[in-house]
Amino acid sequence: MTRFSKLYERERLTIENRLSKALKNRKPYSLYKPAAYILESGGKRLRPLLVLFSAKAAGGKFSKTYNAAVAVELLHNFSLVHDDIMDNADKRRGRPTIHKKYDLCTAILVGDSLLSVAYEFLLKDAGIKAAEILKSFTHGLIEVCEGQSMDKDFELKKIVTIEDYILMIDKKTAAMAEMCCNIGALIAGASGKEVKALSAYGKNIGIAFQIQDDLLDISANESEFGKFVGGDLIEGKKTFLFLKALEKARGKDKKDLLSVIERKGVKHEEIPKFRELYYKLGVIDDAKSEILRYSGKALAQLKFIKEPEDREFFVWLTDSLIKRSK
């Protein structure tokens, strides 16, 4: 482990610990027990960590941003719970989703409550900049809802352009990462320039992160990935790779790809064929170069970070995000 991965892990555990206490002693249990269940499912906790390290990079302290960090993770889990209902997902990180383990009513209310409690936590750290910080958080939330709505629309649309897709992930994924860096910087009392730079870092790394997600779904090493490869194709999702392939394909290849839209997905046994097509059309490389382009844009913002140590942390973080295998 490098010193940065140790630092990340230490702070991730702090967040885990705070999340495990966030809903304690609240009633009714019928609401907060399932809400605690979703918070226990682990993960990278990237969003709260972006809050913490953005604050640090702007001269702030971790200790003043833990509540805000918990808030963004609660917000993220709100969207996971509601998205899982909409996507009719049975599992999340290997465990039954809330609407499967409990029921639809519980899942709707758990999502609503996680969002409400998120605001409660954010207000604890917002201090004199409450208006600005809450505005940023609310803007992030609105973007997430709009992004999810666009994503659902894409399922029914025959024609989705790469531009539409980038706008959608900009809202659904990147706006949240942008907001995390933004509020971390604001709480730390960063200058306007620092706030802008860190926010832009978050936005660009968010887009890179999502395209990387799309790429992993088809090119990951299954044993490291932890789930089977090709899930997006099976669901007929219009990912960056799929849309890029559709743009580049001609003749029979194009017909095959259009049939995925028509049939709303492929069979499990067809995955190798489409993966090969992706390689043939060069869209695996296209995705990789887009990831590099957006992470490059993110890295370019780091010059506004004062301490070399903090700057290096963000370089390490960027690098590990785009090299991750799951």
The binding site for a second copy (CB under 8 A) comprises 26-28, 30-31, 82, 85-86, 104-105, 108-109, 111-113, 115-117, 119-120, 123, 126-127, 130-131, 134-135, 138-139, 141-142, 145-146, 148-150, 152-153
Q: How many CA atoms lie within 13 A of 31 on its CB side?
A: 14
Name which of 24 and 267 has its Cβ closer to a second copy: 24
Compute the least distance from the CB of residue 13 to a second copy, in Å: 27
Name which of 65 and 295 has its Cβ closer to a second copy: 65
Compute the least distance from the CB of residue 250 to a second copy, in Å: 31
Name which of 5 and 30 has its Cβ closer to a second copy: 30
Compute the least distance from the CB of residue 10 to a second copy, in Å: 30
Q: Which of 249, 238, 271 is nearest to 156 (CA)?
A: 238
Q: Is 158 exposed, middle or buried (0-12, 13-18, 19+ CB in 10 A)?
A: exposed
CA dihedral 245, 247, 248, 253 (to 10 degrees): 60
Name which of 63 and 116 has its Cβ closer to a second copy: 116
Compute the least distance from the CB of residue 140 to a second copy, in Å: 9
Task: Give SS3 for 180.
Answer: helix
How does 5-43 read in b/e, with b if 16+ C-beta sit within 10 Å?
A: eebbeebbebbbebbeebbeeeeeeebbebbbbbbeeee
Name which of 105 and 258 has its Cβ closer to a second copy: 105
Compute the least distance from the CB of residue 106 to a second copy, in Å: 8
What would the DSSP string read from start to end of 65-103?
THHHHHHHHHHHHHHHHHHHHHTT-SEETTEE-HHHHS-
Token code pair at residue 19: 């999340």
Rounded to an integer, what distance in angstroms lies between the CA atom of residue 159 and that of residue 165? 11
Compute the least distance from the CB of residue 47 to a second copy, in Å: 17
Name which of 138 and 221 has its Cβ closer to a second copy: 138
